[in-house]
Structure 1
Amino acid sequence: MNEQQQQPQADPCGPPVAPSRRGADWMFGGVYGTVLASALLAALDQKGDEFTPFYDASWVLVTAATAGLAHGYSHHMAAHHGSAAHRWRLLARALWNEWPVIVAALPTVLLLVVAGLVGWDSYGVTAVGLGLNTALLFAWGSLVALRVGYRLGSALLIGMADATIGLAIIVANAVIK
């Protein structure tokens, strides 16, 4: 391999060198989709209202897909591109690249579907869902940080920072309700 083809090496004591764009996209989509699903799970569970897990699951999925499409579209529109054919191709790619937002919401959707099938109560589903999503936020942050070159200690701290968002939703849910 010649010098131009070699990848830069990360300093073992410092932050990563030139983190990959794909890792950043995965992290954004994963964190955004998980936070969105957590907020919807908390908001859709209203004390005294009938628990409708299938309805709630559909809203989490529709909202995640809509948010992903809106995010991809806004990124596309913010950039200026050449020919019309090229713009359509770039729009399709921008929309396709938002799949991590939708995938990140799927654990919450699946939890709600299972809750509907087995008759699980709303309090339990919300508690488990918010806890699961907080753990997923930790995982998203830690794994993506490792993937882009952070050392284990730093990656775990990044994971904890992401999990703090989930904890904030749990606290907000407890305070508001």
Structure 2
Amino acid sequence: MTQQQRPQPVSGIAPPPAPRRSADWMFGGVYGTVLASALLAALDQTGQDYTPFYDASWVLVTAVAAGLAHGYSHHMATHHEGGAGHRWRLLSHALWNEWPMVVAVLPTVLLLVAAGIADWDSYTVTAVGLGLNTALLFGWGAFVAARVGHRIRSALLIGLADATIGLTVIAANALIK
């Protein structure tokens, strides 16, 4: 097709991306929760000083960086011609759509901050955090599956499949350490 044969929006600018659906929230939620679990496991090193505030900041910074990278890559993959203002609107919209990933790491960040305030030991915090994130993965899967129309049994099985990712991180943590 030539440029003249393609249908053009009336204003000459492509419309902004559609609002996020439940399945897209699940992607960000699962991705962020798995990311938080992996970082929690990796940052807890036996024999080294336990630094929960430092760890919390790295979990949050990594989630924001991953969200920015993911949003930017989506923007570049769907790049449309237009002026700088149009590109900035599309890019900022793509980045804004990554908020579920950042929100999904907040339970881990809050757990680490609480651990720093209450002076909890690293083994307990890691075990509780990985268990919490596994439960959250189950919740993400079951809730979103039910919301998009799956029957309860199917939704629970999808939640269980998501929780298996968390169990895999727990198993890997135990084997590696």
TM-score (norm 1): 0.87
Secondary structure of 1:102's aligned partner: helix
For residue 21 of structure 1, report the CA deviation from its aligned partner: 5.0
Q: Quick check: 1:144 aligned with 2:139?
A: no
- The 5 A counterparts of 1:54-93 are 54-84=53-83, 85-93=85-93
Write the deviation string for residues 121-177 of structure 1: whole angstroms up to 9, x where unpaired. Answer: 000000000000000000000001111111111111110000000000000000000
Write the deviation string for residues 30-76 of structure 1: whole angstroms up to 9, x where unpaired. Answer: 00000000000000000000100000000000000000010000000
Segments of 5+ residues of structure 1 without an aligned counterpart are 1-19
Distance 2:36 2:145 in 1: 22
One-letter code aligned to 1:36: L
Give 1:15's aligned residue: none
For residue 87 of structure 1, report the CA deviation from its aligned partner: 2.2
Distance 1:129 1:154 in 2: 27
- The 5 A counterparts of 1:97-136 are 97-136=97-136
One-letter code aligned to 1:102: V
How many matched pairs? 158
Whether contact under 8 Å (2:60, 2:102) holds in the other structure is yes
TM-score (norm 2): 0.87
For residue 24 of structure 1, report the CA deviation from its aligned partner: 1.7
Distance 2:92 2:49 in 1: 40
One-letter code aligned to 2:93: R
Distance 1:24 1:47 in 2: 38
Give 2:95's aligned residue: 95
One-letter code aligned to 2:138: F
- The 5 A counterparts of 1:14-25 are 22-25=21-24
Q: What CA RMSD, in Å, does the superposition of the two structures yield over aligned residues? A: 1.1
Give 1:166's aligned residue: 166
Q: Quick check: 1:45 aligned with 2:44?
A: yes
Provide the identity percentage: 78
Q: Quick check: 1:29 aligned with 2:28?
A: yes
Distance 2:23 2:154 in 1: 16
Whether contact under 8 Å (2:20, 2:97) holds in the other structure is no
Distance 1:70 1:24 in 2: 20
Segments of 5+ residues of structure 2 without an aligned counterpart are 1-18
